[in-house]
């Protein structure tokens, strides 16, 4: 399934959780600008979003950007907890992009809600993918359940001699201080 996010008109913003200075659609915006403007922050059901593979950003009734979703993050706002999508923009040659880029919103409905979920016919043959741990098992998500931990453990064995402490020490040294300042 896909998630469609319909963005409104361009407006300047301050205090944005994603550090954006503007949101919304403006004519002649690039696909990257459309993705950045529309990928968050929204009131989304995490269970629903985690099942989605593609995000379509729609401005003025047309698809302005399409991305394959790689992650969802939660952000506290003055209106409660909201979510942002992370993803990789699709380009020419990808069947979803080739069919929907710059076309009329395929998930249009009469709802005032900016977010809609729906199935795109082209998704059926793209749905099955292989587990990112490298085991080769088919999955609809990034990992077969339990295999994300398996992949992390394999990397710790391969690069840190099996020492989780060595990995954490390396990670703490690599990340800027503000990214792990909440660590006990």
19-41 tens-digit pLDDT? 999 999 999 999 999 999 999 89
pTM score, whole prediction: 0.70
Instruction: Give the pLDDT confidence of 140-178 residue by residue, as tens digits.
Output: 778 889 999 999 999 999 999 999 999 999 999 988 765
Q: Please tell me the predicted confidence (pLDDT) of residue 181.
A: 47
Mean pLDDT score of the chain: 89
78-83 contacts at long range (C-beta below 8 A, 24 or more positions apart) = 80/43, 82/17, 82/40, 82/41, 82/42, 82/43, 82/44, 83/40, 83/41, 83/42, 83/43, 83/44, 83/46, 83/49
The H or E element spanning position 168 is helix 164-174
**Could you give the CA distance from residue 133 to residue 155 in angstroms, rounded to a whole number?**
10
Cα–chain center distance at 154: 25
């Amino acid at each position: 399934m896909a998630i469609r996010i319909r963005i409104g008109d361009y407006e300047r913003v301050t205090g944005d959780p994603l550090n954006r200075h503007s949101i919304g659609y403006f004519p002649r915006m690039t696909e990257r600008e459309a993705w950045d403007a529309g990928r968050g922050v929204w009131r989304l059901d995490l269970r629903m979003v985690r099942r989605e593979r593609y995000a379509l950003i729609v401005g003025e009734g047309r698809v302005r950007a399409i991305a394959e979703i790689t992650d969802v993050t939660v952000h506290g706002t003055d209106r409660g907890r909201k979510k942002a999508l992370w993803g990789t923009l699709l380009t020419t040659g990808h069947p979803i992009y080739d069919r929907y880029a710059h076309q009329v919103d395929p998930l249009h409905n009469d709802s005032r809600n900016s977010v809609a979920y729906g199935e795109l016919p082209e998704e059926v043959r793209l749905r099955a993918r292989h587990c990112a741990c490298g085991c080769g098992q088919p999955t609809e998500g990034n990992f077969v359940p339990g295999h994300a931990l398996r992949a992390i453990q394999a990397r710790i064995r391969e690069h840190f001699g099996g020492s989780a402490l060595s990995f954490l020490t390396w990670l703490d040294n690599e990340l800027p201080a503000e990214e792990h300042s909440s660590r006990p």
